[in-house]
Amino acid sequence: MQVIPVIDIRNGAVVRALAGRRSDYRPLVTPLARSIAPLDVARGLMSLHAFEALYIADLDAIEGRGDNRSAILRISEAFPKTRLWIDAGAADGTQAQEQLARWSGDVVLGSESFVDLDALGPLCANARILLSLDFQGERFLGDGALYENAAAWPQRVIAMTLARVGAGEGPDVSRLAEIAARAGGRDIFVAGGVRNLDDLACLEAAGAAGALVASALHDARLTGADLARITEK
């Protein structure tokens, strides 16, 4: 099973996400890094475990208030063998193609932001594209046609349950099952709610290819030994 740490960047610093309520996000407090500069946080995470990938959310780009390209580039240069999954709020095919050209890593299309359904199929044929299916409670964030048309999804899909992000409520296993039933053998990654090793084991048993995690790492509820155990099976 793959574990992917999440780095949420706003105004050049890492913040701690809480239930998808971006107005409530606060500067990250973590024992893993000497500062909340994105590169310092990335170094702290990589010192905990040799993660294969890091998920980076550029909140300013997602919200249409500038971007954090330079911070993301520094992480990419510091860890060239680590795959970056970058969500920078692509809204259409043109923006997604620009991001594919800009970064060597992978581009995440969030259903909350992406509205160009005509471009979805051609984009998702690209192995560097991931689709995040974003939910706030029971409400799907995005065009319902995107959720219904699973045939157009890429190979890797994120089940993003925003209400559980940073809330310590455990992952939404029923949402995983619902999306997996539609996904036709695609790789499903769960985001939101992971508290500890038991939660990761539960998701693995339920068929998840991996999980996106942040709070449990910074709160030391997932240790390096835990990560080695779950990822090396």
E strand spans, 44-203 = 53-58, 83-87, 106-110, 129-136, 139-140, 156-161, 187-191
| pLDDT of 192 | 85
Query: For residue 106, which phi and psi values (nearest 5 degrees)?
Result: -105, 155
- Angstrom distance (rounded) from CA 50 to CA 200: 17
- The answer, yes or no, to whether residue 32 has pLDDT greater than 90, is yes
pLDDT of 85 above 80: yes
Amino acid (one-letter) located at 163: A
- The residue segments making up the domain with residue 57 are 2-231
CA angle 75, 66, 141 (to 5 degrees): 90
At residue 25, the pLDDT reads: 73
Please give the mean pLDDT across all residues of the chain.
Answer: 92
Residue 59 scores a pLDDT above 90: yes
Query: pLDDT tens-digit profile of 114-151?
Result: 989 889 889 988 999 999 999 988 889 999 999 999 99
Confidence of residue 21 (pLDDT cuts 50, 70, 90): low
CA distances from 99 to 20, 38, 123, 160 (A): 24, 19, 12, 21
- Closest to 52 (Cα-Cα) out of 21, 20, 85, 7: 85
Judged against a pLDDT cut of 70, whether residue 23 lies above it is answered with no
- Grouping H, G, I as helix, E, B as strand and the rest as coil, residue 43 is helix
- For 198, the enclosing helix (H) or strand (E) is helix 197-205
Q: How distant, in Å, are the alpha carbons of 35, 89, 126 from that of 41?
A: 7, 22, 29
Per-residue pLDDT, averaged over 61-75, amounts to: 94
Please tell me the predicted confidence (pLDDT) of residue 233: 62
Q: List phi, psi (to 5°) of 221.
A: -85, -15
Residue 42 sits in a domain whose CATH number is: 3.20.20.70
pLDDT, residue 29, reads: 87
Q: pTM value? A: 0.94
Domain total of the chain = 1
